[in-house]
């Protein structure tokens, strides 16, 4: 049980961003594909209604593709055209009306883009390779030229400008879940030769695409930038991610959000905060760089939220923010419930049971809590 004084002092503690803007608490709603945009990627009434119910200090939108060739799923939000701005403005207004700051998560999905979604025969990534598709097909990935990579980098900057025009308060670059930026960092995707500036054979070459994206966005807009990264992978150690995080901080990122290749594990099987061990390694490497560190993944109880934010008595192990996804799909106002329950000393965990049926529902219609929608 978390005492009210502790909850207010730790979780409801305000966070001042580099530009002076203040986040009302330390809870972020993690970016999640909701399958609720229109078929052309425009934000319509359905997605606006959903985001308007979410209570969090920062609400990060589901990933927004910066180029149509980099789209991975249907009904994904588009931030690739000037015509997207009006819908994005409505989305920001809904988030602000609910009391949170709005963050636009930007992505090019690289070799995980789907031809049957984009209508483009080619799929582009760091290197030539065969990419398995969800229905068992295999698509041949074409290696991007250096000029192509530079166009993608500029697309991130252009999308960031549109996000600012729409009123977003922060930018989150998606460098996790094995999408485009992570693919350049991970040697299992990046087979580019040693004489290539984006080579997969040196840490500098592997970091370059993600670092360049941060620099391009920072030059284009004057709002805080956070980057979501995998904690590790089969071919990348958490220590290497720590080195990446340091370079991202040097490039201008104010916060690193630590996730993983598979963000939808079941905390009943693996425990809450299942990226914690790798995240503490990364955190120890970036300590002293003044970059903030956040954690996402299987966080379900108020006690765990407080433990992560305080370091459980070890201030050097404390995270600056935590992100929640599936619990806020099931209970968009979970933070409000926890805050009210803290006043009477009777906080209950999130009702989410991590069945993942919410995401499966997105493949058939829209992401929603199937388990409790009747209740």
- Asked if residue 369 is part of any domain, the answer here is no
- Asked if residue 371 is part of any domain, the answer here is no
- Asked if residue 374 is part of any domain, the answer here is no
| CATH code of 279's domain | 3.20.20.70
User: pLDDT of 11-39, one tens digit each?
Assistant: 999 999 999 999 999 999 999 999 999 99
Please tell me the total count of domains within the chain: 1
User: pLDDT of 231-281, one tens digit each?
Assistant: 999 999 999 999 999 999 999 999 999 999 887 778 878 889 999 999 999
The two structure tokens encoding residue 36: 């609720």
- Asked if residue 373 is part of any domain, the answer here is no
User: Which residues are within 8 A (CB) of 209 and not within 5 positions of it... i.e. 6 or more apart?
Assistant: 126, 149, 153, 180, 181, 184, 185, 198
pLDDT of residue 83: 97
Distance, in Å, from the CA atom of 174 to the CA atom of 172, rounded to the nearest integer, reads: 6
What does the pLDDT profile of the chain (375 residues) look like in tens digits?
799 999 999 999 999 999 999 999 999 999 999 999 999 999 999 999 999 999 999 999 999 999 999 999 999 999 999 999 999 999 999 999 999 999 999 999 999 998 889 988 889 999 999 877 666 778 889 999 999 999 999 999 999 999 999 999 999 999 999 999 999 999 999 999 999 999 999 999 999 999 999 999 999 999 999 999 999 999 999 999 999 999 999 999 999 999 998 877 788 788 899 999 999 999 999 988 889 999 999 999 999 999 999 997 776 679 999 999 999 999 999 999 999 999 998 999 999 988 888 988 887 788 999 888 755
| Cross-strand bridge partners of residue 141 | 123, 129
pLDDT of residue 315: 65
pLDDT of residue 317: 74
Q: Choose among 362, 364, 298: nearest CA to 30.
A: 298
- Asked if residue 262 is part of any domain, the answer here is yes
- Asked if residue 370 is part of any domain, the answer here is no
pTM: 0.96
- Asked if residue 298 is part of any domain, the answer here is yes
- Domain extent, residue 201, equals 4-364
E strands, the chain, in order:
15-16, 22-23, 27-29, 58-60, 64-65, 77-78, 101-107, 123-125, 129-132, 138-143, 170-175, 225-230, 255-259, 292-296, 321-324
- Asked if residue 372 is part of any domain, the answer here is no
pLDDT of residue 288: 84
- What is the C-alpha R_g of the chain? 19
111: DSSP letter:
G
């Amino acid at each position: 049980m978390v005492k009210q004084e502790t909850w207010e002092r730790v979780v409801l503690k305000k966070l001042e961003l580099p530009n002076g803007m203040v986040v009302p608490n330390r809870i972020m709603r993690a970016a999640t594909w909701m399958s609720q945009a229109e078929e052309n990627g425009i934000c319509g009434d359905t997605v606006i209604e959903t985001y308007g119910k979410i209570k969090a200090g920062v609400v990060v939108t589901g990933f927004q593709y910066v180029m149509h060739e980099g789209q991975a799923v249907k009904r994904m939000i588009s931030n690739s055209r000037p015509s997207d701005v009006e819908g994005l403005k409505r989305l920001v207004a809904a988030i602000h009306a609910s009391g949170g700051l709005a963050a636009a998560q930007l992505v090019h999905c690289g070799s995980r883009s789907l031809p049957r979604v984009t209508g483009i025969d080619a799929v582009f990534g760091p290197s030539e390779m065969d990419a398995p598709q969800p229905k068992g097909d295999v698509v041949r990935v074409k290696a991007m030229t250096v000029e192509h990579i530079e166009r993608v980098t500029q697309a991130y900057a252009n999308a960031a400008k549109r996000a600012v025009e729409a009123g977003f308060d922060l930018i989150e670059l998606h460098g996790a879940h094995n999408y485009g930026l992570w693919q350049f960092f991970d040697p299992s995707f990046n087979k580019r030769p040693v004489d290539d500036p984006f080579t997969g054979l040196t840490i500098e070459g592997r970091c370059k695409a993600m670092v360049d994206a941060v620099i391009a966005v920072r030059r284009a807009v004057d709002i805080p930038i956070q980057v979501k990264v995998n904690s590790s992978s089969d071919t990348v150690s958490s220590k290497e991610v720590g080195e990446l995080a340091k370079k991202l901080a040097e490039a201008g990122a104010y916060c690193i959000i630590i996730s993983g290749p598979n963000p939808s594990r079941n905390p009943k099987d693996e425990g809450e905060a299942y990226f914690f061990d790798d995240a503490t390694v990364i955190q120890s490497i970036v300590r002293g760089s003044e970059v903030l560190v956040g954690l996402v993944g299987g966080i379900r109880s108020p006690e765990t939220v407080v433990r992560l934010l305080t370091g459980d008595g070890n201030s050097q192990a404390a995270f600056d923010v935590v992100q929640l996804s599936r619990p806020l799909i099931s209970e968009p106002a979970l933070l409000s419930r926890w805050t009210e329950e803290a006043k009477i000393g009777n906080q209950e965990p999130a009702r989410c049971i991590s069945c993942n049926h919410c995401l499966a529902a997105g493949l058939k219609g829209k992401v929603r809590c199937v388990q409790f929608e009747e209740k």
